[in-house]
Amino acid sequence: MRNCSRFAVISLALGAAATAPAQMTLKDAFRGAFRVGAALNEAQFTGRDARAAALVAAQFNTISPENVLKWERVHPRPGAYDFDLPDRYVDFGEQNHMFIVGHTLVWHSQTPRWVFEDGQGHPVDRATLLERMHEHIRTVVGRYKGRIGGWDVVNEALNDDGTLRQSPWLKIIGEDYLVKAFEFAHEADPQAELYYNDYSIENDAKRNGVVDLIRKLQAAGVLVAAIGVQGHDKMDWPSVELEDAAITTFARLGVKVNISELDIDVLPRATAQTSADVAITANSQASLNPYPNGLPDAVQQALAQRYADLFGVFLKHRGEIGRVTFWGVADGDSWLNNWPVRGRTSYPLLFDRQDRPKPAFDAVIRLAGQPKGLSR
């Protein structure tokens, strides 16, 4: 694989002696390369979790909303919008001079059933669903015009084989629902960056599906600013070569690449897939939750090396990557404590359950300072 040797040289001494300078932050370490962000829950952006809010303000220069801008939360019933928490999310970002992301407008999940149904529970027709989509996007994007800088317009439209997912959006509107969603978002805020966001799109078939999809959108005159590579990663997937190839392929489309939901699952796989489909569930068993009382040092160090390897790829593509956003701030907040198995103790992020930086944090900070990192 081309440029493979560049990864080989980014191997780190992760021993205790090589700790990063305590004052260095993620946003400063990668300034000039890409923004670094986190998805926030409401305790963080309202300041109820004051320690986490301070950590976010210190470390990150972009934020995403974990849940409060999903359709079921912001628009739970016809004509009823709840902007209380989204307003506070946007206020928090502005107060801290951050690039604010909106997530997500059109998705098959966490969208109430009424959106797709009439009063009798039958599917609505194309015109009705298009009008609902239009009204939702106009209202939500319009409210934060000039304040939210980029939107995940469509989330997870593809199957793992690269074909279009048979979502209610596709079934009722047809393939052009994607073009329409981007057009409505552009109309509501012409300055906002518009993104397509999905998981496992490093894999060949799905990667090809993304390429086809973006080309079709571009042919229809849609301006896609970036592809969001969610980055719900495992210790052994994607390989650095696969990650590198995916970013290269996407950047060739003339769009930016955002690593939009990064985390690395160190727990045993409960299913064979690399999918991050939120609908997947698996039964709980002790063997799937091996570290309830803390992460063994060897795993901690392996996670640090894994993060360093991935950030090596991101830095190589610094001109093509807009931001790297973690899906959560500290390990205790992560969705991976409850997915796909409920009640596990997961360790996927850079900060531990007490909001302290982990060896993985030191590893990525140190990488930014290496000759092969920022100062090339």
Task: Please tell me the distance from the alpha carbon of residue 135 to that of residue 350, in angstroms, as a whole number.
Answer: 39
Q: Closer to ligand GLA by CB, 333 or 362: give it.
A: 333
Nearer to ligand GLA, 7 or 250 (CB): 250
Residue 278 binds ligand GLA (CB under 6 A): yes
Helix (H) / strand (E) element for 38: namely: strand 35-40
8 Å CB contact between 105 and 154: yes
* 140 near ligand GLA, rule: CB under 6 A: no
CB of 38 to ligand GLA, least distance (A): 13
Give min distance, CB of 276 to ligand GLA, in A. Answer: 5
Residue 231 Cβ vs ligand GLA, minimum distance, rounded to whole Å: 9
**Is omega for the bond preceding 371 within 30 degrees of 0, making it cis?**
no
Q: How far is the CB of 169 from ligand GLA (least distance, A)?
A: 15
Residues catalogued as catalytic? 156, 261
Contact call for residues 69 and 103 (beta carbons, < 8 A): yes
Residue number with CB closer to ligand GLA (6 or 112) = 112
Q: How far apart are CA 186 and CA 192, in angstroms?
A: 7
Site for ligand GLA in 296-335 (CB under 6 A): 335
CB neighbours of 207 closer than 8 A, spacing ≥ 6?
A: 162, 201, 245, 246, 249, 250
Q: How far is Cα of residue 285 from the mean position of the Cα atoms in its chain? A: 28
Pairing of strands 62-65, 99-106: parallel
Closest approach of Cβ 46 to ligand GLA, in Å? Answer: 19
- Which residue is nearest to ligand GLA, using beta carbons? 335
- Pick 25 or 197: Cβ nearer ligand GLA: 197
Residues sharing a CB contact under 8 Å with residue 316, sequence separation 6 or more, in sequence order: 3, 6, 244
Within 193-252, which residues bind ligand GLA (CB under 6 A)?
Answer: 199, 230
- Judged by CB under 6 A, which of 155, 249, 274, 337 binds ligand GLA? 155
Cα(347)–Cα(331) distance, rounded to whole angstroms? Answer: 5
Instruction: With H, G, I as helix, E, B as strand and everything else as coil, classify residue 334.
Output: coil
Nearer to ligand GLA, 157 or 222 (CB): 157
Binding string, residues 335-354; x marks residues near ligand GLA by CB under 6 A: x-------------------
Residue 276 lies near ligand GLA (rule: CB under 6 A): yes
Which residues are at the interface with ligand GLA (CB under 6 A)?
103, 155, 199, 230, 261, 276, 278, 335
